[in-house]
Structure 1
Amino acid sequence: MDTPQRRPDRWSLHDFQEMELNAPPNEKWELIDGIIHKMMLGGSLAHNEIVVNLAVVLRTALQAKGSASRVYSTNVPVVSEAIDTSTYPDIAVRCGPRVLDQKEMTDPVLLVEVLSRSTGEKDRYDKAEAYFRIPSVQHYLLVAQDRMDVTVLARGAADWVRTRFDAPEDAVEIAALGVSLTLSEIYENVKEIAGTY
């Protein structure tokens, strides 16, 4: 199945979820503002190492402060019926209570995408625009996988505030969660990044 059979130009979240149920197991799709995008499966070792580093550092920091917030990886979709969106961010953190057998989230506080050549543009623009319209989202991190470079987009009073970090000692503050993480922690042991720790 190379592309889903087109119905209207834009898909509703409900129709997309129906399509996903019938998709072959080796294919994964995202719906962003009613438009379907095929996901690349797999990924580089560097990409996966960065995702694991982020998950571990975030979880450890949240546990240290006694937070009930939970860290999730790429298999849990973030959905919004209001904007016909269903995505699989590399990392998501949510702070609300979890119900038994919950399989998706509507209320993430932090979303993280590790950028690759094939997905970077979509993550920077299409996903960012969609994520900005999810009321619970307070922070969106864009993390380069080929160099030490993290961009934080934080919800401000009137607009989103963009801050970029590129030094090992730089501390990325996630104010909504009350935690911070350094770039040296994010990129720890990633051999493709010169000078990492």
Structure 2
Amino acid sequence: MTAQAASNHFITEQEYLDGEQHSEVRHEYIDGQVFAMTGASDLHGLILNALAFALTPGARRKGCQLFTSDMKLRLELGGQTLFYYPDLLLSCDPQDRDRNFRRAPCLIVEVLSPSTARIDRREKLLAYQSLPSLQAYLLVEQERRHVELYRRANGWRVEHYESGSLPIDCLDMPLTLDDIYIDVPPA
């Protein structure tokens, strides 16, 4: 999904959290500024649902919590407070249970679109890698069968997949590209 500037007005973290509880539009928060999130395509939704369906059994087995699009991630980066809405967030830390956000995910997934790809590959990649708990960051293309997997185990080097399966380390399970793209019509 895409973030669009809501205004140049700065608000506090608490004002942001209070506002999000009553807002019909979700917003990301970057150190006092809020950015409205736009809607997603049908392919985005199909891919995200397929990911959640494929990962849920492993998440339940491990006692993890899996969220799609509606759980905020809170980060502290360079003295700034940030709140993002990852497309998919997996938290396995039993101490990471705030009702409004998570701080310690082990997996984050973003489904790329032309309007979000640059932010997801740069800004969010760097921000997410600052999380000590994060083991993997997965970027999923919508328009073609291709995923990029950044893994802490590899010193945050990227691995590219167009077929087969990729490791989901924090769940000790593989995830196949067939599972990710099962509901996407052939091109």
Interval containing the TM-score (normalised by the shorter chain): 0.7 to 0.9
Superposition RMSD in Å: 2.5
Alignment check: 8 A CA contact 2:29 2:83 kept: yes
- Unpaired segments ≥5 residues, structure 1: none
Alignment check: 8 A CA contact 2:74 2:82 kept: yes
1:67 aligns to what?
62
Distance 1:140 1:90 in 2: 11
Q: Structure 1's 35 and 151: CA in aligned 2 closer, same or farther, altered over 3 A? A: farther
For 1:175-186, what aligned pairs fall within 5 Å after superposition?
Answer: 175-186=169-180
Shift of 1:96: 1.6
Distance 2:34 2:174 in 1: 32
Distance 1:92 1:101 in 2: 14
Distance 1:176 1:90 in 2: 18
Q: Does 2:79 correspond to 1:76?
A: no
Q: Does 2:164 correspond to 1:144?
A: no
Q: TM-score under structure 1 normalisation?
A: 0.81
Distance 1:87 1:106 in 2: 11
Alignment check: 8 A CA contact 1:115 1:143 kept: yes
Shift of 1:161: 2.0
Distance 2:63 2:17 in 1: 31
For 1:26-41, what aligned pairs fall within 5 Å after superposition?
Answer: 26-32=24-30, 34=31, 36=33, 38-41=35-38
2:165 aligns to what?
171
Give the partner amino acid of 1:78.
Answer: L
Bigger share in strand: 2
Alignment check: 8 A CA contact 1:62 1:179 kept: no
Alignment check: 8 A CA contact 1:62 1:69 kept: yes
- Unpaired segments ≥5 residues, structure 2: none
Distance 1:101 1:78 in 2: 10
Q: Structure 1's 100 and 126: CA in aligned 2 closer, same or farther, altered over 3 A? A: closer
Shift of 1:51: 0.3
Distance 2:150 2:144 in 1: 19
Q: Does 2:90 correspond to 1:96?
A: no
Distance 1:173 1:37 in 2: 34
How many residues in Structure 1 have an aligned counterpart in Structure 2? 181
Query: What is the identity percentage for the equivalent residue pairs of Structure 1 and Structure 2?
Result: 30
Q: Structure 1's 39 and 51: CA in aligned 2 closer, same or farther, altered over 3 A? A: farther
Structure 2 counterpart of 1:162, from 158, 161, 186: 158
Q: Does 2:186 correspond to 1:188?
A: no
